[in-house]
Amino acid sequence: MREKLTSNYDDRQYMGAGDFELYYYQDTGQNKRTGLHSHPYYEFYFFIEGHAEAQVKKEHYMLSYGDILIVPPKTSHGIFVKDFDIPYRRFDLWVSTSMFNRLLGISHDYSYVIDEAVTENRHVIHTDRITFNSVLSKLFFIIEEEKGNRFGRNTQLQISVADLILTINRLASEQFSPHKVTKDALYQNICDYIEHNIDGNLSLDNIADHFFLSKYYISHVFKDNIGISIHQYIAKKRLQLCHDAIMGGEPISQVYNTYGFDDYSSFYRAFKKEYSMSPRKLVAQSKMDTSDAMHPEENES
């Protein structure tokens, strides 16, 4: 499916009128290369597969899976493929100076990685497979959103690109200033994955496969951070979503299926244990509260 999201290689080195451009390239043969060049926008390059070397100014970097290359505007750089027999796969994100300046107006947290590139000549962030998998999910989401036509598309794209850039800055901070790290990266990535897949199959086996780790290790890391099992955490998240949906007027018969419960009886037991009332009692209480709010004079003595 994701092969449909790939872009045809374009050696153009100027942006259109938009705030950003994101490309998913997958080359299986030799293409024309740009060589050393510079451009007036920010570039974030995400290396997935191939045998390639990056040059930024006079620095050379042999690229490995999970490397993120940072190129500030007007900085000489280029990617040089060493072996065209190996598929060459990567994402390339261009961000306009106007969008970047708007982000800086919100917070200077967005500029950490650029400041490090300019002042300290640090242009590559190395990530592990688990972390990079989370970054790839964000990139695929942006491309899928860009190709769609859902309500709020442009707003969602702005939010998602800003989130991606902040994520890059966090990764840079964790690598360049490790003493500043205060949260467990794996735990945060698991929470993000659960959040984005709350209506899907969140078995421990599936989560472990997604992060390429054993389920026992993931269970240990999660419980150490939050104090409850990952199964309990997922159940609580789903029950909260069901509770809020019921309060919002959604039918009980639809809610429990929507948020990952296989059958009503297991949903009923979990809900009653969590909230000390049945789903139907919550509906009745919600209607009573609404009626009291609309007719407060009836409750006055």
Q: Which residues of the chain have pLDDT under 70?
A: 1-14, 28-34, 178-184, 286-301
Same domain, 159 and 229: no
Q: What is the pLDDT of residue 30?
A: 66
HEC secondary structure over 171-200:
HHHHHHCHHHCCCCHHHHHHHHHHHHCCCC
How many structural domains compose the chain? 2
Which pTM does this prediction carry?
Answer: 0.61
Give which of 67, 93, 65, 128 is closest to 7, Cα–Cα: 93
Whether the Cβ atoms of residue 77 and residue 57 lie closer than 8 Å to each other: yes
Same domain, 203 and 176: no
- DSSP letter at 214 equals -
Last residue of one domain, picked from the residues 145, 160, 181: 181
Whether residue 299 lies inside any domain: the answer is: no
Amino acid type, 229: S
Whether residue 193 lies inside any domain: the answer is: yes
Same domain, 131 and 217: no
pLDDT in tens, 13-48: 667 779 999 999 887 666 656 689 999 999 999 999
Q: Give dist(CA 169, CA 173) in Å, integer.
A: 6
CATH number of the domain encompassing residue 273? 1.10.10.60
pLDDT in tens, 249-280: 788 888 888 888 888 888 888 888 888 888 88
Q: What is the pLDDT of residue 259?
A: 81
Domain that holds residue 84: 2-181
Q: Give dist(CA 69, CA 121) in Å, integer.
A: 12
